[in-house]
Amino acid sequence: MYINDCPKNSGSCVVRFLGRFSFQPFKENPLLGPSSTTLEKMGALEVSKVVKRHQVWRLMTCIWLHAGVFHLLANMLSLLFIGIRLEQEFGFFRIGLLYIISGLGGSLLSALFIQSSISVGASGALFGLLGGMLSELITNWTIYANKFAALVTLVLIIVINLAVGILPHVDNFAHIGGFVSGFLLGFVFLIRPQFGWVSQRAALAGHVSSAKSKHKMYQYILWVIAVILLIVGFTVGLIMLLRGVNANEHCSWCHYLSCVPTSKWKCNSGATYCLSTQSENQLTLTCQGSGKTSMYPLSNASDSRIKDLCSQLCG
């Protein structure tokens, strides 16, 4: 917000008494946050910069950026509810790795399909934790009681959250990429020893009749399959992205996974362009896509300000 400096770059700000920490107008950012230009400067995922300027680090930095206060609070509350149980059971290191790699997987899939707008947020990493919970339940199936009830509940939660992603302005590809990454990582990081092996370690050495292996065979098989799929998936995805591949050209229906158009909203995710006319104290913008025109009491508006207003007008 300090970099954003709303009073300097915008005519009206929310909570203006905060000075340069005040928020962009609600019409521009209803989540109480900075402009899209500021998010771009601070490391938001923008595919053109990843491909043409080789700024691959944006796949990672966007995970720690949020569009506004509401966005940040929603994600961090979700992180508390999902993450506390996992971290208590498996530790900071394993859950931290799962979270970060899942976020990277979400960013990667998002970049392959959504290439005309910036993306920020930890949603992909959060869905990775949900995916990890599901695979943890599957790979440690034999040690759980009420396993079917737990499975149905978890699947229902996942389906509902993914269904929300078909709304406009929600990056469901990040959700899906994070979930799949976390699901595979759960087989690698969240494997538990079988109950018989734990009991064997607790018993006296002289009372053990037969040694038991630490894990069941199906756990080892799932571990190997998950590792192979993760390596292949991330490698192929990064190669496709750095070569500038637009995955929508190879999957004509995949865009419906992120937004389903209805009579209430549209799913136009194309780039926005505006014709601008600057007089002494007034800026006039016309959206080329919709033909909408609006006038703003601004003089000598910067390119970044015009870009933000154009996105707002065409959105």
Distances, alpha carbon 61 to alpha carbons 25, 40, 78, 303, in Å: 25, 11, 20, 24
Is 123 a known active-site residue?
yes
Per-chain mean pLDDT for the chain:
85
pLDDT band at 169 (very low <50, low <70, confident <90, very high): confident
Mean of pLDDT values over 247-251: 88
Compute the half-sphere exposure of residue 182: CA atoms within 13 Å on the CB side of its CA.
33
Average pLDDT over residues 223-233: 97
Sheet with strand 283-287: strands edge to edge: 274-278, 283-287, 293-296
Q: What is the per-residue pLDDT for 165?
A: 80
For 269-298, write each residue's pLDDT tens digit.
555 677 788 877 778 888 766 678 887 877
- Catalytic residue selected from 36, 110, 117, 175: 175
- Residue 246: left (phi > 0), alpha (psi -120 to 50), or beta? beta
What's phi and psi for 35, nearest 5 deg?
Answer: -80, 160
Token pair belonging to 20: 């340069």
Could you identify the residue written with the tokens 């019409």? 27
The dihedral sign for the CA sequence 13, 15, 21, 27 = negative
Scored b (16 or more CB within 10 A) or e, 56-70 reads eebbeebbebbbbee
pTM of the full predicted structure? 0.82
Hey, what's the torsion of the CAs at 149, 122, 90, 217, to 10 degrees?
A: 70
More confident residue, 143 or 197: 143
Q: How do residues 103-128 score in pLDDT, each as one tens digit? A: 999 999 999 998 878 899 999 999 99
Which residue in the list 107, 110, 117, 123 is annotated as catalytic? 123
175 catalytically annotated: yes
**pLDDT (tens digit per residue) in 42-87:** 999 999 899 999 999 999 999 999 999 999 999 999 899 889 989 9
